[in-house]
Structure 1
Amino acid sequence: MTTHDDLRPHLHFAPDGQDVQSRVKAVTAGALAIFTMEAEGERLGACALDSCRTAFVDTSRSGRRAYCCARCANTDAVRRHRMKRR
């Protein structure tokens, strides 16, 4: 946290001298940390497809997203459909 230039306090996630890639990583990690605290962890999830290990942020209106992407949701729906037909 800093208050340089007589501005109100604000956050810096990386030193000014770091390369762009490092700064983007630091800002992304910081934003995720702030989001997680604000949402109290309610909007973080892990894909429900057994073969997928992807974590995601649930941005759906209802907050009930179960899959990281439409492809995983469709793959699981097809699997469940084929199991019913057996």
Structure 2
Amino acid sequence: MTGPELAVDLVNLAGGPDWSVERVLHILDEHQIRKTSSLTANSAERLRQWALMLRKAFDATDAEGLCRAINSLLEAGTSRAYLSTHDGLQPHLHWAPEEEDVVARVKAVTAGGLALFTVESAGKRIGACTRQGCETVFVDTSRNGRRSYCSAKCGNYDAVQRHRQGAPSK
């Protein structure tokens, strides 16, 4: 699940005021992205631009739009898929050659990861918070797959607002 979760973290970081090389490095380290020592201010900015492109997948309103957005990401971010068993790991997919720079590898793993997650989730578990004013994106790993808020806090806030306005509950 590295690809989708990394995509979420990059998109959410890019949507806020805290984008920096240090914050990006922290996210890459959390997702065990290797060879990040080459990350510069320029490459971090390239990743921020990529995160803005990733956002389109989370904002898609139907399966066709989601597929279109992810196909664009795959075209821009991957070269070819191949299996690897490096570092004693079980066979797993890579979406870019190991010798590529960190930006190319992040683009590949997020595009490929979102594509696989979309297939496995029937295109229904990638989204953006529906609370007005919240820009947070998420991948839904809940049991029922019906998540529409980024957190319980946003869901509760929305429920309180609907109650105060006398609107019916969702």
Paired with 1:58 and 1:3, the residues of 2 have a C-alpha distance of 26
Match of 1:73 among 149, 155, 168: 155
DSSP 3-state at the match of 2:94: coil
Paired with 1:68 and 1:36, the residues of 2 have a C-alpha distance of 18
Paired with 1:25 and 1:42, the residues of 2 have a C-alpha distance of 22
Identity percentage of aligned residues? 60
Identify if the C-alpha distance between structure 1 residues 57 and 3 changes in structure 2 by more than 3 Å, giving closer, same or farther.
Answer: closer
Question: What runs of 5+ residues in structure 1 fail to find an aligned partner?
Answer: none
Shift of 1:26: 2.0
Match of 1:51 among 127, 133, 146: 133
Q: Which runs of 4+ in 1 moved over 6 A?
A: none
Bigger Rg, which one = 1
Normalised to the residue count of structure 1, the TM-score between the two structures is: 0.67
Question: What runs of 5+ residues in structure 2 fail to find an aligned partner?
Answer: 1-80, 85-90
Match of 2:124 among 39, 42, 57: 42
DSSP 3-state at the match of 1:45: strand
Normalised to the residue count of structure 2, the TM-score between the two structures is: 0.39
Q: Which has the higher contact order (CA 8 A, sep 6+)?
A: 2
* Paired AA for residue 14 in structure 1: A
Shift of 1:36: 0.3
Identify if the C-alpha distance between structure 1 residues 82 and 2 changes in structure 2 by more than 3 Å, giving closer, same or farther.
Answer: closer
The corresponding residue for 2:145 is: 63
* Paired AA for residue 55 in structure 1: V
Shift of 1:3: 6.8
Q: Deviations over 1:19-58 (max 9, x none)?
A: 3354234212211111101222022233221222433221
Q: Whose helix proportion is higher, 1 or 2?
A: 2
* Paired AA for residue 57 in structure 1: V
